[in-house]
Amino acid sequence: MLFYGDQTFLKHLNRGALLQLIRQTPRLSRAEIAKRTGLTKSTVGVLVSELMNEGWLSEGSLVANTTGRPSTPILLNDDQLFILGAELGGDGTNVLAITPSGRILDRRYRHLNHDGNALHTPETTIAELAGDIEAILTQQQQTGRRVVGLGLGVGGPIESGTDILTVVPPLGWREVPLRELFAPHLERLNIAHLPFLIANEADAGAMGEYLFGVKASEGPLLYLSVGIGVGGGIMIGNQLLGGRAGLAGEVGHMTLDVNGPPCPCGNHGCAEVLIGQQALASHLRLPHANIDELLSILHSGDPSARDAIQHSGRWLGVLIANLVNIFNPAAIVIGGPLAELGEALLAPAREEAARRALNRSFTCTSLTLCTSGRDAGALGAAGSVMHDAFSHASSTRLAGD
Q: How far is the CB of 253 from a copy of itself (least distance, A)?
A: 5
Residue 354 sits in the site that holds a copy of itself (CB under 8 A): no
Q: Which of residues 264-283 bind a copy of itself (CB under 8 A)?
A: 265-268
**Is 115 a residue that touches a copy of itself (CB under 8 A)?**
no
> CB-hemisphere CA count at 13 Å for 113?
5
Q: Which of 61, 142, 144, 258 binds a copy of itself (CB under 8 A)?
A: 258
Strand pairing category for 104-111 and 92-98:
antiparallel
DSSP 346-386: HHHHHHHHHHHS-HHHHTT-EEEE-SSGGGHHHHHHHHHHH
Nearer of residues 36 and 69 to a copy of itself, judged by Cβ: 36
256 in contact with a copy of itself (CB under 8 A)? yes
Question: Between 58 and 396, whose beta carbon lies closer to a copy of itself?
Answer: 396
**Eight-class DSSP state of 340:** G
What count of other Cβ atoms lies within 10 Å of the Cβ of residue 67? 4
Q: Is there binding between residue 397 and a copy of itself (CB under 8 A)? A: yes
Residue of 65, 135, 355, 394 that binds a copy of itself (CB under 8 A): 355
* Spatial separation of the C-alpha atoms in residues 223 and 200, rounded to whole Å: 12
| One-letter identity of residue 336 | G
Binding of residue 395 to a copy of itself (CB under 8 A): no
Closest residue by Cα to residue 269 from 277, 283, 259: 259
- Among residues 153, 205, 220, 380, the one that binds a copy of itself under rule CB under 8 A: 220
- 399 is an interface residue for a copy of itself by CB under 8 A: yes
CB nearer to a copy of itself: pick between 183 and 393: 393
Smallest distance from a copy of itself to CB 380, Å: 18
218 forms part of the interface with a copy of itself (CB under 8 A): yes
- Using CB under 8 A as the binding rule, whether residue 247 contacts a copy of itself is answered as yes
- Other CB atoms within a 10 A radius of the CB of residue 254 amount to 19
Residues in contact with a copy of itself, counted by CB under 8 A, come to a total of 74
Catalogue the E-assigned strands of 89-129: 92-98, 104-111
By CB under 8 A, the residues from 194 to 213 that bind a copy of itself are none
Distance CA 243, CA 245 (A): 6
The stretch near a copy of itself (CB under 8 A) out of 49-57, 66-74, 171-179, 318-326 is 318-326
* Residues between 7 and 36 that touch a copy of itself (CB under 8 A): 7, 9-10, 13-14, 17-18, 20-21, 24-25, 36
- Distance between CA 28 and CA 63 in Å, rounded? 11
Fill in the DSSP letter of residue 268: B
- The alpha carbon of 156 is separated from its chain's Cα centroid by a whole number of angstroms, namely 13
- The mark string for 33-72 relative to a copy of itself (x by CB under 8 A, - otherwise) is ---xxxx---------------------------------
> Residue 115 Cβ, how far from a copy of itself at the closest point, in Å?
29
Alpha helices (H) along 38-194: 41-53, 122-142, 178-188
**Least distance to a copy of itself from the beta carbon of 161, Å?**
13
